[in-house]
Chain A
Amino acid sequence: MCRLIAITSDEYFSPMENILALETMKEGHDGSGMGLVLKNLGGEFEELKQYPILSGICSKDGIKVLDDYMERLGFKLIYTWTPKIKLVKGIQKREHYFARVYDYPEEIKDRSKDEKEDLLLRTRVSLRRMGEEDESIIVFSFYPDILTIKEVGDPIELSGFFGLQDSHLKAKIIFAQGRQNTNYQINLYACHPFFIQGYGSMTNGENTAFVPIKEFLMSRGFYGYMGYNSDSEVFTHILHYICKRLGYPLHYYKDVITPLKLSEIEKRPDRDAVWLLKTSLRHLCIDGPNCVIGFTPDGSCFMVQDSKKLRPGVVGGHSGKYCLTSEECGLERAIPKRDKTKDVFPMKYDMVIVSPEAKEVKVWNQQTGEYLLDSN
Chain B
Amino acid sequence: MEPAGRLDHNHELSLKDFPFIVRWRDDRCSRCGKCTAVCPMRSIEASVVVKRQLRSEGPLPKPVEVRKVETIVKQVTDIDRYCVGCGTCTLVCPNEAIEPELNQHSKFLFHKNKGGYPWRRGGRRNDPQVSTLDRLKFTRISMLTDPALDAGRHEFRIRTYIGRILPAEELPLITDNGRLVVDKGGRFIPPVREIYPVMIGSMSVGALSPSMWEGLAMGVTYLNEVEGMPVVMCSGEGGMPRRLLKSRFIKYFIPQIASGYFGWDEIIHSIPHMVEDPCAIEIKYGQGAKPGDGGLLMAQKVTKLIAEIRGVPMFVDLPSPPTHQTKYSIEESVAKMIQSMYMAWGFRVPVYPKISGTKTARFVLNNLARNPYAAALCIDGEDGGTGAAYNVSLDKMGHPIASNIRDCYLDLVRQGKQNEIPLIAAGGIGKKGNVAANAAALFMLGASAVAIGKYIMQAAAGCFGDEMGRCNICNIGRCPRGITTQEPRLYRRLDPDKVAERVVEVFKAIDVELKKIFAPMGRSTELPIGMSDGLGADDAAIAERLQISYVC
Contacts and interface: CB of A to CB of B under 8 A. Distances in A.
14 contacts: A182-B146, A212-B530, A219-B413, A220-B416, A247-B175, A261-B157, A270-B179, A273-B173, A273-B179, A273-B181, A280-B165, A280-B167, A287-B523, A288-B146
Contact of A280 (B145, B419, B522, B533): B419
Contacts of B163: 279
Interface string A271-299: 01110110111110111110000000000
A307 B161 contact: no
Interface stretch (A154-162, A185-193, A202-210): A202-210
A276 B173 contact: yes
A226 interface: no
A286 B525 contact: yes
A273 B167 CA distance: 13
A281 B173 CA distance: 14
A340 interface: no
B4 interface: no
B165 A279 contact: yes
Contacts of B189: 276
Contacts of B522: 206, 208, 287-289
Contacts of B526: 209, 259, 282, 285, 287
B180 A248 contact: yes
Contact of B531 (A211, A286, A289): A211
Contact of B418 (A219, A247, A286, A289): A219
Interface size bucket, B side? 35 or more
Interface of A: 1, 182-183, 205-206, 208-212, 215-216, 219-221, 245-249, 252, 258-259, 261-262, 269-270, 272-274, 276-277, 279-283, 285-289, 306-308, 310, 369
A262 B168 CA distance: 18
Contacts of A259: 525-526
B528 interface: yes
B436 interface: no
Contacts of A215: 413, 418, 530
A208 B521 contact: yes
Nearest to A285: B526
B154 interface: yes
B171 A280 contact: yes
A286 B167 CA distance: 18
Contacts of B159: 262
B486 interface: no
A209 B523 CA distance: 7
Given A183-B145, A280-B419, A212 B528 contact: yes
Contact of B419 (A183, A247, A283): A283
Specify which of A206, A258, A279 lies most central, judged by the most chain B CB atoms within 10 Å of its CB.
A279
A157 to B, nearest CB: 24
B180 A252 contact: yes
B265 interface: no
A264 to B, nearest CB: 11
A287 B168 contact: no
A219 B415 contact: yes
Interface of B: 140, 142, 145-147, 149, 154-155, 157, 159, 161, 163, 165-169, 171, 173, 175, 178-182, 189, 192, 194, 413-416, 418-419, 521-526, 528-533
Given A219-B414, A248-B180, A308-B154, A276 B171 contact: yes
B422 to A, nearest CB: 10
Nearest to A250: B178
Contacts of B167: 280
Contacts of B521: 208
Nearest to B533: A211
Given A219-B418, A276-B171, 6 more contacts: A182-B145, A221-B416, A272-B181, A274-B180, A282-B165, A307-B524
A220 B154 CA distance: 33
Nearest to A251: B178
Nearest to B521: A208
Nearest to B166: A280
Contacts of B416: 216, 219-221
Contacts of A306: 525
B142 A282 contact: no
Given A215-B530, A287-B526, A310-B147, A206 B194 contact: no
A369 B179 contact: yes
A182 B146 CA distance: 9
A82 to B, nearest CB: 36
A25 B326 CA distance: 70
A211 B180 CA distance: 28
